[in-house]
A and B are shown apart, each in its own frame.
Chain A
Amino acid sequence: MKTWHRYVICVALGLIGGAAYAVQQVRGGLNDGVVANGPWETGKSFGTLDASTLTRAKVALSGLLALPAREAMYFTAQNDSDGRALDGRCTYDVRGGQLDGRWWSVTLYEGEGWLVKNAANRWSIPASAVSPDAQGRWSFTVSPEAQSGSWLPTGSVEAFDLTLRLYHPSADIIKSPETAQLPIIDRKGCA
């Protein structure tokens, strides 16, 4: 084998390997190690010049046109509160209290962030769809089957994630999202 053959082989492998590793890293989801809070994860630098090259690429893939934290925060959960991957064939109770911001919603996505087709044509639970008790506690059900009360259908997809949007979050949450009081995701059973 001639010398230039060896260079061609190594350079080609380097090009393919480097690009493939980058794609694998970018496709790793929005869990760039940024901030974790129970099952929820978020980042402080989405949409800003402060975002790292990897974070910017991840957000472009999974959350293009995201707003900076001052305007909105995005908390994404791929697991329940016991650390098990969210499964569209299971039923979950999502329970929380007053969230420290102007408005919130929880949206269910599959894959890289697509709404799931379902017979109820419902893809999110906004703050206005729950009924808080006297202490401000509320809950809704995520399930493949219709439920009484507030119900977010899973469409029976194999895997999904939940994104909690919090618009105009308080200064405390922006500063310390890891200590915010966020909803718990409690798996009740699977079909």
Chain B
Amino acid sequence: MMRRWIFPILAGGLIAFGAFQATLLATPYALMQAALMKVGKQGAANQFAFAAMTTADNQTIVRPSPDLSYSTCVFDVSKGPVLVDVQPVPGHYWSVSIFDARTDVAAVRSDRDTKGKAARLALVKAGQTAPAGYEPVRVGYDRGLVLIRILVAPASTFPTIDAIRRKSSCKQV
């Protein structure tokens, strides 16, 4: 009787292992897609959306920092490179990070890296080239997210920082 179940149980075990691995592999893509859809509602693709400071009432992504201002751009390099120009904010920590569809970081540049100057990045996929004056950042997937973090401390500096960050741009060539 039990012998009839041996091969079905072995098959079930193999399937279980495959399902375990497939679920782990799919999780980052699925969550990133959900995040891109949420963030995408704040603005068009290849264009920055400048969010208000995060509070308990307006959270879109898990573990937000209420001390940082977030600016996001859902990028899509399928039709050409995307250029990211980040306006520096003197005297404040800031960084720009590029996340791919698997949630990996393709690049991070902060005021420490640029020595306070603007960051100029060109997001390119295989076969595309960066224009002169832009640092190429190779992305493995067409879509992903550009995220600018700026430390807002004290909170009263936000209006000044907000005016500066709105000079940053994200645009397709």
Contact = CB atoms under 8 A, between A and B. Distances in A.
Interface of A: 3, 6-7, 9-11, 13-19, 21-23, 25-26, 47-49, 51, 53-54, 56-57, 59-68, 70-71, 74, 102-103, 105, 107, 109, 112-118, 121, 123-124, 126, 128, 163, 165, 167-168
B104 interface: yes
B19 interface: yes
A168 B31 contact: no
B59 to A, nearest CB: 6
Contacts of A15: 15-16, 19
Contacts, number: 168
A118 B4 contact: no
B9 interface: yes
B40 to A, nearest CB: 14
A65 B151 contact: no
B54 interface: yes
B25 interface: yes
A103 B14 CA distance: 48
A176 B136 CA distance: 32
27 contacts: A9-B12, A10-B12, A13-B12, A13-B16, A15-B16, A18-B21, A26-B27, A47-B103, A56-B28, A60-B103, A61-B31, A64-B31, A65-B35, A65-B61, A65-B145, A65-B147, A67-B108, A68-B105, A105-B65, A107-B67, A109-B63, A114-B56, A121-B56, A123-B56, A124-B65, A168-B110, A168-B112
